[in-house]
Structure 1
C-alpha cells in the first residue's frame, strides 16, 4: 500500500515537473491581426471602429451592429474594414456601400445615389430625397 502511494506521488511530481509551457507557441498558427490599429484616411486611429474583449481577455474588432431608425425599424449593419465597405440589411434587402472618406470621427460611404454618414453611434442614410437617421442599439 505504501509503495502504491509512493509510486503515485512520484508520478504526479514527475508530471508537474516535466510539463513546461513553451513561450514561443506553435509556429504553424497564424496570429490574429485584431490588435492592429486600423487607421483612418488622416493616418490616425479610426474612432468609428469599436473593439470588444472576449472572455479570455483577447481584443477583437466588432464588425456587426444593429441600428434602430426613428420609426422603430431595425437594420443590421456590417463593416468590412479590409474591403472598406459597409452593408446595410433591412426588410430582406441588402445595400453595400463603399468607403469614400474618413475624417476625424466621421466616415462617409456611398454607392450610386445612396450615401451613409457614420458618426459615433449614429448613422445617417441619404437616398435622394429620403434622409433616414439611425442610432446604434444594445441588442
Structure 2
C-alpha cells in the first residue's frame, strides 16, 4: 500500500510538472505581414479623400459606397471604386447612374471626369459640374 501511494504521488507530481502551457502560441505558424493598401495620389502622397472600410479582421476594402445629400435635401448614392486598374466613381440618383473615371488626384482632392461632367471630391463634399450646372453634395452620416 505504501508503494502504491508513493508511486501515485510520483506520477501525479511528474504529470503536473510536465503540463506547463506555453504562452507564446504555436511556433509553427508563420505570421504574414500586412500589405499596405494605401492609395496614393498622382504625386505619391496618400490620398486623404479615400475612406476605407475594414472588416472584423482589419482587412481594408477599396470599394466603398456612401449616401450624399444635395442642397435640395435629395439623397444620392455614390460608389467609389479604388481598384488600381479601374478607378471610378458611380453617382446614382432618380434611377440614373453616371460613371466617371478618375482624371487627377491631389493630397486633399480627387477629380473624376466623363464627357462634360466633372466631379470633385474634397473631404466630405462632392461637387459636380455638368455643363452650366453646379451640384453640391455633402456626405451624410447614415
TM-score, normalising length: structure 1:
0.74
Superposed CA offset, 1:73-116 (max 9, x none): 11111111111111001111100001011112011101001110
Gaps of 5+ in 1: 1-9
1:36 positional shift: 1.5
**In 2, distance between residues paired with 1:84 and 1:53?**
19
Query: Is the contact made by 2:67 and 2:140 (CA closer than 8 Å) also made in structure 1?
Result: yes
Q: CA RMSD in A?
A: 3.0
Alignment of 1:11-22 (within 5 A): 21=26, 22=28
Superposed CA offset, 1:47-83 (max 9, x none): 1111344445x14246111100000111111111111
Give the secondary structure class of the aligned counterpart of 1:89.
strand
Structure 1 residue ranges (4+ consecutive) displaced by more than 2 angstroms after TM superposition:
20-25, 51-56
Query: Is the contact made by 1:50 and 1:61 (CA closer than 8 Å) also made in structure 2?
Result: no
Count of aligned pairs: 124
Alignment of 1:1-139 (within 5 A): 21=26, 22-24=28-30, 35-56=36-57, 58-61=58-61, 63-82=64-83, 83-139=86-142
Kindly name which structure, 1 or 2, has the bigger radius of gyration based on alpha carbons: 2
Gaps of 5+ in 2: 1-14
